[in-house]
Amino acid sequence: MIQAIAVDMDGAFLKSDNTYDETRFKQIFEQLEKRDIHFIVASGNQYYQLKSFFPTLQDQITFVSENGALIFESDQLLRSNQFSTDVVQRMLTFLANHDLDLNVIVCGIHSAYILKNTPKDIHDIVKIYYHRLETLDSFDQLPSDPIVKFALNLSVEKVADFVTEINEAFQGEVKAVASGHGNVDIIIPGMNKGRALEWLLNRWNLKPDQLIAFGDANNDLEMLALTKNSYAMASSSPALIETAKYRAPSDNDSGVLEVLEKELSIRTKIKRT
């Protein structure tokens, strides 16, 4: 019996315009609560951005943010993992040497950080995904905020080579993963969505077969490999399609909600558009 649901946001739960069918979801969520089914948002994005999508439900949802480095519940930090100061400094030097210092987001527990001279077009995009964002004159002046992830955007054709290069340069110290649309997340090895979900399932005394999970990019691989009830969205990466047991309709067709209604026999009283 399904007792937990984990959804990636961009490319899975959210449509391409960063919205979702709120009326339909609210009806589904009411049924989940009646059945004591946990709803988990599992994303590479910042916690403060993720909870903004659920203004009336955020205290009833568990958030796995920054690709598993942070877990929040009822606005309380349950679990965190961070890079050492040495790795942070060497990573920033590495990115600067690759002329990527103006394109990197340094993600802490309390805020994210970019440089003041970051181009405006990049800054404007970053603000959409990081609701707590500070600008710095230099990364030499990082606040005393534990760093949990680095994020940057590259040309899509450069992603695979860059991921390989950074994983070789920092073997065992970081893990670079493609998160879709030219985005690269540099995370703590072993700290991924799958590991975070394992921790939550143990906390709730649940088994992986009681979880249903949805994703679309390579940073969802461990999450979907965790359970036999795994769904790759219609536009997923080839690796994710190979890993997932099932396919879900497109995010733009509310594929996650459609599968949940079917798998959990939930009827919603709304008119489809």
Question: Which residues have a catalytic role annotated?
Answer: 8
Closest CA to 256 of 221, 204, 216: 216
Please work out, in degrees rounded to the nearest 5, the angle formed at the alpha carbon of residue 13 by the alpha carbons of 253 and 203: 145
Q: Which residue shows structure tokens 């065992």?
A: 172
C-beta of residue 10 within 8 angstroms of C-beta of residue 43: yes
Q: Which residue shows structure tokens 């005394």?
A: 205
**CB atoms closer than 10 angstroms to residue 159:** 21
Closest CA to 268 of 5, 26, 27: 27
Residue 145 neighbours by CB under 8 Å, 6+ apart: 108, 109, 110, 111, 113
- Phi first, then psi, for residue 107 (nearest 5°) are -105, 120
C-beta of residue 252 within 8 angstroms of C-beta of residue 31: no
The secondary structure of 42-61, three-state, reads ECCCCHHHHHHHCCCCHHHC
C-beta of residue 206 within 8 angstroms of C-beta of residue 225: no
3-state SS of the chain: helix, strand, coil percent to 5?
A: 40, 25, 35
| Distances, alpha carbon 230 to alpha carbons 63, 120, 244, in Å | 19, 39, 5
